[in-house]
Structure 1
Amino acid sequence: MGKLTAEAIVERALTVGDAEGLDAVTIRRLATDLGVTPMALYWHFKNKEQLLVGMADHLVAGFTPAPDDGRPWQEQIRGLVVGLITMLRSHPCAKSILEQVDQTAVPNFLAVWNQALGLARSAGFNTDESCLISKYLLQSAISIADAPVHFRAGMSQEEIAELVRCKRAGLQTLPPDRYPHLVEMAAPMVQPTDSGVWDTFGVDLILSGIEALAARR
């Protein structure tokens, strides 16, 4: 192969992480897949921690926040959250990566975070409130982007169906006098929800709270 680049390494790492989970992402495994020695990878990433930061930065680079374009802050925040969800949804391992890294060490994530802070300020919130809002927004986007029902990487459709069946049965067999609502809603609780409905309702839920607070200013 040609000259090994950091981009080629993180792209391969993301492919492995999506298919097999982050535990399968090791320097030795990637070196074998890329046909190089482990030392060739260490030139770019000294350890797995640095590799995960590189993977996170590459992920978020797929979503470039638009500059302030004069639209109402509500529309800009929605665009920020939806764009981030869409980008993260394309990689099943994205949530695990962002949970394991120091997000302040990820330049592209900082750009998104910076914009979220600015939009919160433009909505009339003070600095402390804006910090909290930005954190809630970004963490909510990461959680919403994760599958509506989270499954382990590499599971077959048959395994997923069996897992859903077992979870549903477990809820349905709970004492109905003690857990009436869990028993009643056992099926929708565990059944994978259409991602469009999941995303729309989730974003509306988060943003409605922010808009309601802003309206009280």
Structure 2
Amino acid sequence: MVGKLTATAIVERALEIGDTEGLDTVTIRRLATDLGVTPMALYWHFKNKEQLVAGMADHLIAEFAPVPDDDRPWRERMRDLIKGLIGVLRAHPCAKGVLEQVDQTAVPSFLAIWDLALRLARIAGFSVEESCVISKYILQSAISIADAPVHHAASRTPEEAAEIIRRRRLALESLPVDRYPHLVEMAAPMVGGISRETYDTFGVDLVVSGIESLAARR
């Protein structure tokens, strides 16, 4: 069985467990049981959980492979970069936890995306320091958009999600209208009445438009 076991098979099962049961439940012993091997068989590929999480990060980021170089304007390429990251993060509920735990410098696929973000910022005319800041904000923005409460229904039953939305809406609608008029007025969309397409598209527009506006001042 050891000869048939691959690193890819291990990280794919680890992601499945992390997505459905949470990242804390991903252990070498659990994986070995699920894959029908001894823990030692997994240690041939990953010496510890830190290496395993790095492998998980590399695999999930590799699902999004941006074109390293093309002739399109930097704005379009940066938009695709952010949208691609959002897609990867949304496809795996445990992705946020994986990226928060992992040493990102140990993840080749992440390094490729990071390097591309820096390259696009430099093409846009930003300084080295500014490009570093932009690359970090791109990642954080993608994580925030993908992990926003508007998408919490994916991890709960429709009934549970509807009840959460109802309670949150009522909480906002019950606020003193003289002190919080806009929160009361917009309670419904604020807690779940915004479509995923609108939320994602407008969110990416905000990020890219802000970078574009700054670039125009150069």
TM-score normalised over the length of structure 1: 0.92
Specify the alignment match of 2:197 in structure 1: 196
Match of 1:134 in 2: 135
Q: Which letter does structure 1 place at the counterpart of 2:145?
A: I
Offset at 1:43? 2.3
Equivalent pairs, count: 217
Q: Aligned residue for 1:107?
A: 108
Partner of 2:123: 122
Name the structure 2 match of 1:149. 150
In 1, Cα distance between equivalents of 2:22 and 2:161: 16
Secondary structure of 2:150's partner? coil
1:209 aligns with 2:210: yes
1:25 maps to 2:26: yes
SS in 2 for 1:151: helix
Give 1:153 shift.
Answer: 7.5
1:174: Cα distance to partner? 2.1
Whether the aligned pair in 1 keeps the contact of 2:151 and 2:196 (CA below 8 Å) is no
Aligned counterparts, 1:73-84, within 5 A: 73-84=74-85
Contact in 2 for aligned 1:18/1:153 (Cα 8 Å) = no
Q: Is the 8 A contact 1:49 1:101 kept in 2?
A: yes
For residues 49 and 110 of structure 1, what CA distance do their matches in structure 2 show? 17
What is the one-letter code of the residue matched to 1:53? A
Q: After the TM superposition, which residues 24-103 of structure 1 pair with which residues of structure 2 at under 5 Å, given as runs?
A: 24-103=25-104
d(CA) in 1 for partners of 2:15 and 2:145? 20
Mind listing any 5+ residue stretches in structure 2 that lack a counterpart? none
Please name the residue that 1:10 is paired with.
Answer: 11
The 1:28/1:154 distance shift into structure 2, 3 A limit, reads farther
CA contact (8 A) 1:81 1:137 kept: yes
Conserved in 2, the CA contact under 8 Å of 1:21 and 1:153?
Answer: no
- Say if 1:14 and 1:91, in contact at 8 Å, map to a contact too: yes
* Change beyond 3 A, Cα 1:178–1:47: farther
Q: Between Structure 1 and Structure 2, which shows a larger proportion of helix residues?
A: 2
Distance 2:189 2:8 in 1: 40
Q: Which runs of 5+ in 1 are unaligned?
A: none
Distance 1:183 1:36 in 2: 56
Range 113-122 or range 194-203, more displaced: 194-203
Cα deviation 1:145-170 (Å, max 9, x = unaligned): 22553539753222222222222222
| RMSD, aligned CA | 1.9
1:46-97, CA deviations, whole angstroms, 9 ceiling, x for partnerless residues? 2222211111100011111202212111111112112222222211221221
